[in-house]
Amino acid sequence: MKKLFILLTLLFVGYFNVEAQVYAVAASKTDYAKQKADGVITFRFGSDVLPETILTNGENFTENFKTKFDVPTYVGTFTMNENTEMNRLMLGRLLIMCGVEVVEFDGTQIPVFQFSNDQLK
């Protein structure tokens, strides 16, 4: 009985660790393509990403992009100073610095590093 209780506890904890990933949601594929071309990219963040974290860490990238955060909707807007691949890749670094683990893109959750390599370049 003790082993069963321990097993159920481990499964319960493991389930909630998987579900508790810090995330950001990107625009739909077509909207994101337009955002990328225009150099103004938005993400809707999960409630575990604090606005202060985005804004404070965004100050490290002022030469790459401008950061705005709408608190009621939890949407961050990032306007590239110059719409270059390097500046977009720095946005991926910002996401990582803010603790974002996965980006939901086109209905699929993918790790931030993969999103950076596949979509920000």
User: What are 51-72's pLDDT values in tens digits?
Assistant: 999 999 999 999 999 999 999 9
Position 82 scores a pLDDT of 96
| Separation between Cα atoms, residue 68 and residue 45, nearest integer Å | 13
Residue 8 within a domain: no
Residue with tokens 């159920």: 8
| 4 inside domain | no
**Segments forming the whole domain that contains residue 48:** 21-120
The answer to whether residue 6 sits within a structural domain is: no
User: Is 103 domain-assigned?
Assistant: yes
3-state percent breakdown (helix, strand, coil) of the chain, nearest 5: 50, 25, 25
Residue 104 in domain: yes
Instruction: Select from 65, 63, 69 the least CA-distant residue to 80.
Output: 65
pLDDT at 18: 46
Show the low-confidence residues of the chain (pLDDT under 50).
4, 7, 15-18
Burial class (CB in 10 A: 0-12, 13-18, 19+), 121: exposed
